[in-house]
Amino acid sequence: MVGRGAWFRPLALAAFLAAWLTQGLVLTVPVLAIAPSGSFVQVLGSPAIYAVIGGAAVRVDSCAPLGGCAGLQRIASLAGYAKVPANGSFVRIQNGPAAGFIGVLIGGSVIHVDSCVPLNGCAGLVGLDSGGAAAYLAAHLTPANGSFVRVADGPEAGLFARAAGGDLIGLTDCAPLAGCPGAVALDAGGFADFSQLHPTPADGTLLLGLPSQTTWLVLAGQREPAAPNPAAVSVNDASLTSIPVASSGGTGTTTETPRTAPRRRRHRRLRVKVALAWEWNLRRTQLQRLELGRHSRHVRISVACRGQGCPQGTRSAGAHKLARLQRALDGRVYHAGDRLTITLSARGFDRERVEVVIRDGRIPKIRLL
C-alpha cells in the first residue's frame, strides 16, 4: 500500500487511515486545527456532534434544523477548542419556541440582542438547534465576573459596564480599569432587558473600588466593607453609588438611601403558603400550577402582572372562587422580564405581597415586598 521509499509519521498515518475509512461529505482535519465558526465537528468514535462557535465546540442536539450539519468534519479530539465561545460571537436559535432568538456571547453567557443594527448586523452569526441552545444556556446563566460591556446605541450609548455576580454594573470611568479592554458591544434593548432581570449583584459578590482600593461584600442588594480578597471584581469608586451601603448595626452609621421608620404591625400575619410550579424554556416560562396552603375563609388573592407576556388587568378572587382563578392562571405563558405581584389579604390580618420576576432560561425569582 505504501511505495518504496515512502514513509509516514504516526500522526499522519492515523489521519490517512481515518480519511480512507470516511465517506461522503465527512472530512478529517489535523488534531490541533480549530475549525471556523459555523462548521460542524465530530470526534472519531463518538456520536456527539458539535457546532463551532467562536473557537468553542458547542454540542448539537439535532442536526435537522441546521441543514443536516453539512460539511461535518471528523477530528481526533476537542483538544485546542475553547470551553466557551469568544466574546462578541453571535448565536441564533433555529427552531422551537425560541426560534429567531439572537444572542451575543459575553463572558461565556448568551445575552439576548433586541436589534442587530447597532452591532454590525450581528456579523458571523451561527445557528444552533433549540436542544443544544437550551443545554448551553442552562450551563452558562450569567457572564463571567470581570467581563466588560459597552452599550452601542440609545440614550446610554457609550456606557461601559462590568459583569459582577450576574449583574452588569454601569461604570462612570474606565481609566482606573485600564480602559475597559475587550468590551463587547451590546444594543440598548438587550442591555435594558438584562439589567431588569439582574438589578443587583448576587449575594456574596466581592467588589473592589478603584482607586480607593476598598473591598465590599454585596448582601441583599447592599454593600458592606470586607477584607481584601483577590476574587473581588474591580470597578471604579463612583460606580458603587448605585449599590447602597448597608447599616453597620449598632455603630450609628447610616445608609446612603433614606431610611423609613419600620411599619407598625396592627394585625396578625396571614402565614399562607403559596406554591408555584413552573416550566421554562429560554425566554418562555409557563405557570403550571398555583396552590394556596391552609388559609382563612376570608382570604382574598389578587395577581397583577407587568410585561409583554401579561394579560390585561388584575385577576382577583375570594376563597370561594379560588378554583376559578387557579384555572385562569394554570398554563399561562410569561416572558423574561415579566413581573407578577401576588397579594394576599383578609380582614384582621396584615396584607402580604410577593413579586415574581420571570427570568431568562431559569426558575423565576421570588421576593417579599
Residue 232, helix vs strand vs coil: coil
Residue 241 and residue 248 in contact, taking contact as beta carbons nearer than 8 Å: no
pLDDT computed for residue 36 by the predictor: 96
Residues of the chain with pLDDT under 50: 1-31, 249-267
Count of other CB atoms within 10 angstroms of residue 332: 18
Q: In Å, what is the CA distance from 306 to each residue of 57, 171, 309, 337?
A: 38, 29, 8, 9
β-strand pairing of 206-210 with 233-236 = parallel
The Cα–Cα gap between 170 and 155 comes to 14
pLDDT computed for residue 42 by the predictor: 97
**Which residues are 207's β-sheet partners?**
216, 233
Side-chain-facing half-sphere of 85: CA atoms under 13 Å: 33
Contacts of 259 (CB under 8 A, 6+ apart): none
Please count the residues of the chain.
Answer: 369
The Cα–Cα gap between 43 and 189 comes to 39
Residue 72 and residue 41 in contact, taking contact as beta carbons nearer than 8 Å: yes
pLDDT computed for residue 73 by the predictor: 95
pLDDT computed for residue 185 by the predictor: 97
Q: In Å, what is the CA distance from 127 to each residue of 33, 68, 94, 103, 107?
A: 21, 12, 6, 11, 19
pLDDT computed for residue 98 by the predictor: 86
pLDDT computed for residue 160 by the predictor: 97
Residue 142 and residue 163 in contact, taking contact as beta carbons nearer than 8 Å: yes
pLDDT computed for residue 21 by the predictor: 39
Whether cis (ω within 30° of 0) applies to the bond prior to 211 is: yes
Instruction: Write out the three cell numbers for 275.
Output: 406554591
pLDDT computed for residue 249 by the predictor: 40
pLDDT computed for residue 360 by the predictor: 76
